[in-house]
Structure 1
């Protein structure tokens, strides 16, 4: 089954469909996040790029579906969805949990030799090989809310609406369980280049932990540091978009000289 270039599915969200584009950006949301987080990114890069925002089960219109609490299982399912897309040079962009999920998805696609990304942008997340003893998913509701406030990544309107918060908490808890129980196989790396974006005051990622992404790629590598915390990209969207634009242009140029997906 092939997903058309202008199609939206349960997993694939296109807020500004652009079937005639020659390059693709696939966006992986953070823990508790949804595809709509990337609506501004879609608006910025469409119609020149086919911007695909992924919608995981357990949130928004998929809230009645069980949340997938295992990064490997979720990556396997995303591989199936991405394989159904048309061949276009592709850049992966993932924030926080989404960065690890993008890495695991890229690894699987490279192993299968199909639809592998041209490059990966890992935002707001320490390297897959680094470890911290984090147990947020085991906290009660108030404990999880405190974590969200610390990271400042949830719309303040959600905190003021008990019903919205109750609807969101199961997915948030499930995502935290997925990322906090994730372990990276020793030596796992991808061939595609990796750009790491990090905030200089992010409580979840030190500069050393950001640099630790380096052994996870056989390709070109760089780290960009921005002022701010875990959601630094909210205050530096223009600069983050510039990084995305550079990667998309590099993918487009590469696609003109080699078959897409290689």
Structure 2
């Protein structure tokens, strides 16, 4: 793995070269690595946050988009191999949770077992819904994002819409066309976080994550919608850091 590939796919907003653990964060559809800047800043010194930067957005706006989660997972898995010299814990929100799961599967197949997977705001891979928002109009797609709380409507003018729509539509296509392939799942703990008013996932769909690991499973439900994280950052940071430190103490 070259430094070029590492710097392309991974953002270290707060480099901690002596940290004993790494938290890898996977953004939601249309999201970017900077979504996890506040989380990175709040993590204890013993945890270095690696935020995945998907192609086609921000400083990667000229890189070709990837609309296949399996292809994306293959690439991210390869990128993360050079980071596996320390224990990795995954946190994925929405589409990012599904991608994190697929990357974790691939790593476990070659003997790299994550310390845990936090699946946020996303139903289990086997809980399929027929959705085709990626085929809708630009206005409908933007309305969906606003209604979910992903951005404020006053922030989306014509120029911003032109910038975010290609990646947004691409990511919706990727996650809506994703199909779970039966096979070996995980042995690491899985922790599902959801908002109690999230239209994208029910408590039973989140509970179904338990069937994707032979390890421990926990479900935590927060007040809020799809982007419940905004109101509960400190609680989420503590839950993640406590899990990482406990897992480290048990090794």
Instruction: Tell whether the structures are fold-level matches, with TM greater than 0.5.
Output: yes
Partner of 2:83: helix, strand, or coil?
Answer: coil
Residue 174 of structure 1 is matched in structure 2 by 170
Aligned-residue offset at 1:140: 1.1
2:240 aligned residue: 244
Counterpart CA distance in 2 for 1:10 and 1:113 is: 25
Aligned twin of 1:260: none
Partners of 1:54 and 1:207 in 2: CA distance: 27
Q: What is the CA distance between 1:8 and its match in structure 2?
A: 6.4
Alignment counterpart, residue 213 of structure 2, candidates 211, 217, 225 = 217
> How do 1:77-156 residues align onto structure 2 when only pairs under 5 Å count?
77-114=75-112, 116-156=113-153
Ranges in structure 1 where 5+ consecutive residues have no aligned partner: 258-262
Using the TM superposition, give the Cα deviation of residue 50 of structure 1 relative to its aligned residue in structure 2, in angstroms: 1.2
Instruction: State the partner residue of 2:226.
Output: 230
1:118-155 Cα shifts (integer Å, max 9, x gaps)? 10000000000001111000011001011111211124
Determine if contact 2:190/2:217 at 8 Å carries over to the other structure: yes
1:250: how far off?
A: 2.2
Gaps of 5+ in 2: none
Higher share of residues assigned helix: 2
Alignment match of 2:52 (pick from 48, 51, 54): 54
Farther-moved stretch of structure 1 (214-223 vs 37-46): 37-46
How big is the shift at 1:252? 2.2
Deviation at 1:188, TM superposition (A): 4.6
Q: Contact between 2:146 and 2:152, CA under 8 Å: does it hold in 1?
A: no
Q: What does residue 68 of structure 1 align with?
A: 66
TM-score, normalising length: structure 2 = 0.95
1:13 corresponds in structure 2 to 11
* Superposition misfits of 4+ residues, deviation over 4 angstroms: none
**Number of the residue aligned with 1:189:** 185
Compared CA separation, residues 2 and 153, structure 1 to 2 (3 A): same
SS for the counterpart of 1:235 is helix
